[in-house]
Structure 1
Amino acid sequence: MKGATAEIGRLRRIAANTLRGLAMDAVQRANSGHPGMPMGMADVAVVLWGRFLSFDPSDPQWPDRDRFILSAGHGCMLLYGLLHLCGFDLPLEEIQRFRQWGSRTPGHPEYGLTPGVETTTGPLGQGFGNAVGIALAERWLATHFNRPGFPIVDHWTYVIASDGDLMEGISHEAASLAGHLGLGKLVVLYDDNRVTIDGPTELAFSEDVLMRFAAYGWHTQRVDGHDPEAVEAALESARRETARPSLIACRTHIGFGSPNRQDSAKAHGEPLGVEEVKLAKERLGLPQEEFYVPEEAKEFFRQAAERGRQRHKEWNELYLRYRQAFPELARLWEAIWQGELSPDWDRELPSFSPQAPLATRAASGAVLSAIFPRIPNLIGGSGDLTPSNNTQPKGEKAIRRDDFSGRYIHFGVREHAMGAILNGLCLHGGIRPYGGTFLVFSDYMRPSIRLAALMKLPVIYVFTHDSIGLGEDGPTHQPVEHLASLRAIPNLWVFRPADATETVVGWKIALTRREGPVALVLTRQAVPVLDRSQLAAQEGAVRGAYILVEDADFRAILLASGSEVHVALSARELLRAEGIGVRVVSMPCWELFEEQPRSYRESVLPPRIRARVAVEAARSWPWRRYVGLDGEIVGLDRFGASAPYKVVYEKLGITPARVVEAVKACLDRLAGAGH
């Protein structure tokens, strides 16, 4: 027994030092990167991947694999080394091309680029938040699909997190919710190396992390991260504690093995240097050969991969029996993993009467209540604004620590974490997530929204109280710059409907989009429901922008989104009374409009009509792309004010009369210039 234990220890040292050597060499060749964390956490990673993690390199996406999240994404060479040694499709040549153009080993892990990478990490704390979402997804799917004797959902979520991850506020929020919900199959290995870029963590970080997590309701332990047997015992203990998530603080030495850089900030974010790499390899017993990979290290990780393949095979056999025993559940399981909607999911979508003004947030709530029974994997919630966001479908119960059968999540006042958790729910697979808050608080979620767009995740955001139209709460809650800010994010579709009918279209677009997130931007105040029998287009909103109505021989175009479409329509009536014909264009989604053929775009906004006026209760300058230098913009280039919303619109000049003035000024200027 002692001999076997000694042999395991020897192989673990070889494997860990191989990972350290790869990290040193890759960072040195790139002359860029973070060698210290991979060198410090190599012993921990070898125990986790060699003994506990269940994975299959031949099928990195099989549903019941364990998930590993490197939240400390700057230490990505640790993950790349593991993936290479475990037999994922990441050859040594890619390790050698670390941080180079077109390589699969970029400077931080990127989802969808490198096989085995579960999420894009880098912004600290985001991976931690994703992991909470992934663990929540596992628990929810297990509740809904497992049956006695058929645990088809039974996997763990493991995280390596750094001091920086645990300093960032998003991790505090996410950890609090994970503890509240008792996500017992979430295990975080905390790289407690006490060093950041600035120097020792004591410069800015002195709380007792384990006490903090214990207060959140976590199971906590502390170990020497360079003692593999202690790490193994701590992981065994964490896996026995299924009622609480677990945090294992692993005391490590950053840059472990480097004679002059170990435990220094210089090991964090810069190459060790050629001479120091040489000295470190001597100390670790590694040959000086660059990118050295001994056969014993390969064999150590091959055995771990083989255990994962065997578990995958057993799972496949279990699932075949599950299909026979529960064919309806199996069909649903397969559909949700393919991202399919049922053919009749939109059969009972509501329609709205033109006689009854309705806030688009209320229309959104009606849509959700109609579709929820037909989309069984649609799960969402709100950042403590459920009655305001209208995000809880009628009769739907909330997820609770002791009951995961519901589909509604009370995220609490945790917008930062909500954004990352939504991404995690989506990354896990099998779930379509949505989350709601006020538009002004999208600022809190922006890093997560950006990452959803980068990863092409079909997350749905329900942002209500979209303008100065929310009224008395005043400028702290009235978004002004937020539409421009969200529209600036590549691959995010921002859909701001003019009325209840366009809101239905917005939800259709959001639910059928597969390659990125959609933000639904909705009013607090009631707006008229347009009588579309009298309008030029019925379903034009699906194209992002369309002609609502126009006069014969129109001379100007009015462009607007959301509630300001009604301001434009009222201005059109005033202009008609003066003999000035206009076209009114509703533009709920710029990004979708830009995807249309040029012929369509020019049919809506013909180049020959240079008299254009945009109307939106938000920052004006982005509209210049559509109105050109000759056009006018009736927008808002200051913060709002506290008053009844109609008064605020009047005082800040978002009115039909102001639009009329802008049209006339535009026409006069063009006439004076000879156009």
Structure 2
Amino acid sequence: MINRKELANAIRILSIDAIQKANSGHPGMPMGMADIAEVLWRDFLIHNPNNPFWFNRDRFILSNGHGSMLLYSLLHLTGYNLSINDIKNFRQLNSKTPGHPEYEKNINGIETTTGPLGQGLANGVGFAIAERILSKKFNKPNYKIINHKTYIFIGDGCLMEGISHEVCSLAGTLKLNKIIVFYDNNNISIDGNIKEWYNEDVKKRFESYGWNVIDKINGHNSEEIKYAIKKAHKSKNKPNLIICKTIIGYGSPNKAGNSEVHGAPLGKKEIYNTRLLLKWKFPEFIIPKNIYLKWDAKEKGKKLENKWNLLVKKYSKKYPELYIEYKRCLNKKLPINFNKNIDKFIKDTQLIFKNIATRKSSQNTLEFLGKILPELIGGSADLTPSNLSNWSGSISFNNNSYGNYIHYGVREFGMSAITNGIALHGGLLPYSATFLIFFEYAHNAIRMASLMNLHIIFIYTHDSIGLGEDGPTHQPIETLSNLRMIPNLYVWRPCDEVETAIAWKYAIKEQKPIALILTRQNVKQQIRNLKQINNVYKGGYIIKECNNFPDVIFISTGSELDITIKSSKKLKKIGINVRVVSLPSTNVFEIQNKKYRKKILPKIIKNRIVIEASFKGYWYKYTGLYGKIIGMKNFGESGPAEKLFNKFGFTINNIIKKTKKMLIKNYSNNDI
């Protein structure tokens, strides 16, 4: 008769063998949390290894992702498409078992990429928000087609990270009762026993957030673990934290309970001794058939999903229109005539010559999109009136309403990582908003969104020294360059309402992570023909052409484009031919074919000037050795926007002066 300890030991042994073979990894956490995982995955977790994408599955997130071998062992044992050879290839190049779980590797059963501690916990809050919104929207009496839980494993490191406070505070406020978090309370981190640097009362902390806390659970006693999970399931209006007292490296006779077992292989001798202590008689990577049979979840998972499929079938007949909308959202399909409708909106926008801020242009576009895309879920980090990130149909998300707008409070990092979780869950298209400078608080979450290639729209307003009097603490200088350098992230800095609407259309259709960089101050609506409108989608295009071969190319974005065009007109009067290129998205422009890029920016034209109120360093790849950049090299100052632009050289006179000086220098040197 196989007991629960033997089943948990299968996780421990697979983990230490894989880590030893790789000569790299973290054995302590998988060994310490194996008993909790065994109870959760075998007795409670609703999932189907035959169909890892079954929408009504419970979500399992390993926020302490360094313990990835615990998750890989679980996936292998329960019947997911993760072979013993994959386990043997742990941490190897191109393997399906990287050092930390990676969603972008398309490994079945991995719900999110968890590397930086605390972000998996934040993602889990996003999962629970998405489940709440969709269940309120689609469920009907006796037809709970969306009804699942989010289980999260965390460690001390996750709770030390500030993001844990941001998201757990919000989760308690929103009463997200379908979150169940297991805290691996082993008192050990890399530096040793945490009592010298982390001794807060975690129970009181989470109770103050409004959580249901179940503490003093022996993380190595299956009956206590079962009791705790059942108690958490009864929670009606609070998220749940189960504090499990565990021993890191449980089963290791000489290293259990100390930091040595946290992040290094046990060593062959200690593995041999661990096998003796756990009474595990089998060679490395060998799991007995009877243990596999006890772990196998395929048949159980198939029955659970079939039962749900029958419910959905009945639902589709009783609520056919709702079912069609449900399927559309899950399959990420745009509504019929979406392209036709938004193209008409953009065409109409070009005819309305209003000088408004691009943040207002964004809100105007949202007003249109919100009415035809019910899956749009927005939110702001306590800056809604400044970001203009809501629209007339925005409904605040809370415990009583499924809503479509989340008030995140002043929690930029938490908001961004929660937004990642909403996107990962599926069925919704999330966007979030804050000031551009506060992207720096949230940088790592946007990096993770880009790493996972999630369909998210990040709105950043107050994009330059143009925000004025708030001064250098709020004026982003280097921030735009930082965003543009993140792989997979497509950054748009539109110059007016048309470019803003097109950026939104791109963001909706391309299903990629997008950042919209928007002004606080009003900008002038530019004149374009149909060809130019179509070329906006390519990230860069000629917005003003000269009659003859250009003497110089001006490149600009956002609020500086208008002054760039005005400067070109004055230069024309003195015989200097200027081509003006609007480059709202360098990331999109750079993925266009070479022929198009050379047409817009011919190599033969080496006289180039970039005009943008951000860090100069990013732009040298466009100007080369001969060009000039009118940009920022220092922090801004506090004062009215127009005076700041004048102080830092964003004037017609300065652009003309720089152009003349460049042309004289280049022609006199005979370098062109």
| Counterpart pick for 1:429 among 418, 426, 430 | 426
Q: Output the CA distance in 2 between the equivalents of 1:370 and 1:565.
A: 26
Q: Output the CA distance in 2 between the equivalents of 1:291 and 1:655.
A: 70
Give the equivalent residue in structure 1 for 2:600: 604
Contact 1:466 1:523 in 2 (8 A): yes
Between 1:649-658 and 1:129-138, the stretch displaced more is 649-658
Q: Output the CA distance in 1 between the equivalents of 2:551 and 2:495.
A: 23
Instruction: Compute the displacement of 1:236 (Å).
Output: 0.2
Give the equivalent residue in structure 2 for 1:387: 385
Instruction: Compute the displacement of 1:77 (Å).
Output: 0.1
Contact 1:536 1:547 in 2 (8 A): no
| Counterpart pick for 2:87 among 95, 101, 109 | 95
Q: Secondary structure at the match of 2:553?
A: strand
Report the residue type matching 1:282 in the other structure.
Answer: L
Instruction: Compute the displacement of 1:203 (Å).
Output: 2.2
Report the residue type matching 1:577 in the other structure.
Answer: K
Task: Output aligned runs, 1:65-144, within 5 Å.
Answer: 65-113=57-105, 114-144=107-137
Instruction: Compute the displacement of 1:672 (Å).
Output: 1.8
Q: Secondary structure at the match of 1:45?
A: helix
Q: Secondary structure at the match of 2:103?
A: coil
TM-score where L is the length of structure 2? 0.97
Q: Output the CA distance in 1 between the equivalents of 2:479 and 2:94.
A: 33
Give the equivalent residue in structure 1 for 2:195: 202
| Counterpart pick for 2:475 among 459, 475, 478 | 478
Q: Output the CA distance in 2 between the equivalents of 1:651 and 1:503.
A: 28
Give the equivalent residue in structure 2 for 1:25: 17
Between 1:283-292 and 1:38-47, the stretch displaced more is 283-292
Report the residue type matching 1:215 in the other structure.
Answer: S
Instruction: Compute the displacement of 1:657 (Å).
Output: 1.9
Q: Output the CA distance in 2 between the equivalents of 1:146 and 1:301.
A: 32
For the structure 1 residues 354 and 334, does the alpha-carbon distance in structure 2 shift closer, same or farther, using more than 3 Å as the test?
closer
Find out whether 1:286 has 2:280 as its counterpart. Answer: yes
Q: Secondary structure at the match of 1:537?
A: helix
Report the residue type matching 1:561 in the other structure.
Answer: T
Give the equivalent residue in structure 1 for 2:323: 330
Contact 2:472 2:638 in 1 (8 A): yes
Give the equivalent residue in structure 2 for 1:403: 401
Q: Output the CA distance in 2 between the equivalents of 1:42 and 1:242.
A: 28
Give the equivalent residue in structure 1 for 2:219: 225
Find out whether 1:511 has 2:508 as its counterpart. Answer: yes
Instruction: Compute the displacement of 1:629 (Å).
Output: 1.1
Contact 2:64 2:155 in 1 (8 A): yes
Give the equivalent residue in structure 1 for 2:585: 589
Q: Output the CA distance in 1 between the equivalents of 2:112 and 2:555.
A: 39
| Counterpart pick for 2:537 among 528, 542, 545 | 542
Instruction: Compute the displacement of 1:300 (Å).
Output: 1.6
Give the equivalent residue in structure 2 for 1:343: 336
Instruction: Compute the displacement of 1:306 (Å).
Output: 2.6
Q: Secondary structure at the match of 1:83?
A: helix
Give the equivalent residue in structure 2 for 1:4: none
Contact 1:536 1:548 in 2 (8 A): no
Report the residue type matching 1:628 in the other structure.
Answer: G
Q: Output the CA distance in 1 between the equivalents of 2:489 and 2:322.
A: 33
Q: Output the CA distance in 2 between the equivalents of 1:352 and 1:547.
A: 17
Instruction: Compute the displacement of 1:622 (Å).
Output: 1.0
Contact 1:184 1:243 in 2 (8 A): yes
Give the equivalent residue in structure 2 for 1:652: 648
Q: Output the CA distance in 2 between the equivalents of 1:615 and 1:200.
A: 54
Contact 1:561 1:587 in 2 (8 A): yes
Give the equivalent residue in structure 1 for 2:153: 160
Between 1:64-73 and 1:443-452, the stretch displaced more is 443-452
| Structure 1 spans left out of the alignment, 5+ residues | 1-6
Give the equivalent residue in structure 1 for 2:447: 450
Q: Output the CA distance in 2 between the equivalents of 1:324 and 1:512.
A: 30
Q: Output the CA distance in 2 between the equivalents of 1:621 and 1:638.
A: 12
Post-superposition CA distance 1:301-360 (Å, at most 9, x none): 11x443222110101111111111111111111111111111233526361556421000
| Counterpart pick for 1:185 among 166, 178, 190 | 178
Q: Secondary structure at the match of 2:338?
A: coil
Q: Secondary structure at the match of 1:269?
A: coil
Give the equivalent residue in structure 1 for 2:169: 176
Q: Output the CA distance in 2 between the equivalents of 1:293 and 1:112.
A: 29
Instruction: Compute the displacement of 1:536 (Å).
Output: 7.3
Q: Output the CA distance in 1 between the equivalents of 2:629 and 2:617.
A: 8
Instruction: Compute the displacement of 1:286 (Å).
Output: 1.1
Contact 2:29 2:67 in 1 (8 A): yes
Q: Output the CA distance in 2 between the equivalents of 1:538 and 1:99.
A: 47
Q: Output the CA distance in 2 between the equivalents of 1:27 and 1:60.
A: 26
Instruction: Compute the displacement of 1:91 (Å).
Output: 0.2
Give the equivalent residue in structure 2 for 1:469: 466
Give the equivalent residue in structure 1 for 2:360: 362
Q: Output the CA distance in 1 between the equivalents of 2:290 and 2:563.
A: 73
Give the equivalent residue in structure 2 for 1:417: 414
Q: Output the CA distance in 1 between the equivalents of 2:500 and 2:112.
A: 31
Q: Output the CA distance in 2 between the equivalents of 1:665 and 1:334.
A: 61
Contact 2:58 2:148 in 1 (8 A): yes
C-alpha RMSD of the superposition: 1.2
Q: Secondary structure at the match of 1:54?
A: coil
Between 1:282-291 and 1:241-250, the stretch displaced more is 282-291
**Number of residue pairs aligned between Structure 1 and Structure 2:** 663
Q: Output the CA distance in 2 between the equivalents of 1:536 and 1:67.
A: 47
Between 1:657-666 and 1:481-490, the stretch displaced more is 657-666
Q: Secondary structure at the match of 1:532?
A: coil
Instruction: Compute the displacement of 1:402 (Å).
Output: 2.0
Contact 1:18 1:294 in 2 (8 A): no
| Counterpart pick for 1:490 among 487, 491, 494 | 487
Q: Output the CA distance in 2 between the equivalents of 1:669 and 1:198.
A: 59
Q: Secondary structure at the match of 1:74?
A: helix
TM-score where L is the length of structure 1? 0.97
Q: Output the CA distance in 2 between the equivalents of 1:298 and 1:657.
A: 77
Instruction: Compute the displacement of 1:665 (Å).
Output: 2.3
Instruction: Compute the displacement of 1:148 (Å).
Output: 1.0
Instruction: Compute the displacement of 1:34 (Å).
Output: 0.2
Find out whether 1:641 has 2:633 as its counterpart. Answer: no
Q: Output the CA distance in 1 between the equivalents of 2:353 and 2:166.
A: 44
Q: Output the CA distance in 2 between the equivalents of 1:195 and 1:659.
A: 60
Q: Secondary structure at the match of 1:69?
A: strand
Q: Output the CA distance in 2 between the equivalents of 1:537 and 1:195.
A: 60
Give the equivalent residue in structure 2 for 1:12: 4
| Counterpart pick for 1:263 among 241, 257, 282 | 257
For the structure 1 residues 112 and 538, does the alpha-carbon distance in structure 2 shift closer, same or farther, using more than 3 Å as the test?
closer
Give the equivalent residue in structure 1 for 2:209: 216
Q: Output the CA distance in 1 between the equivalents of 2:614 and 2:144.
A: 51
Report the residue type matching 1:549 in the other structure.
Answer: K
Contact 2:370 2:393 in 1 (8 A): no
Report the residue type matching 1:414 in the other structure.
Answer: R
Contact 2:104 2:451 in 1 (8 A): no
Contact 2:213 2:242 in 1 (8 A): yes
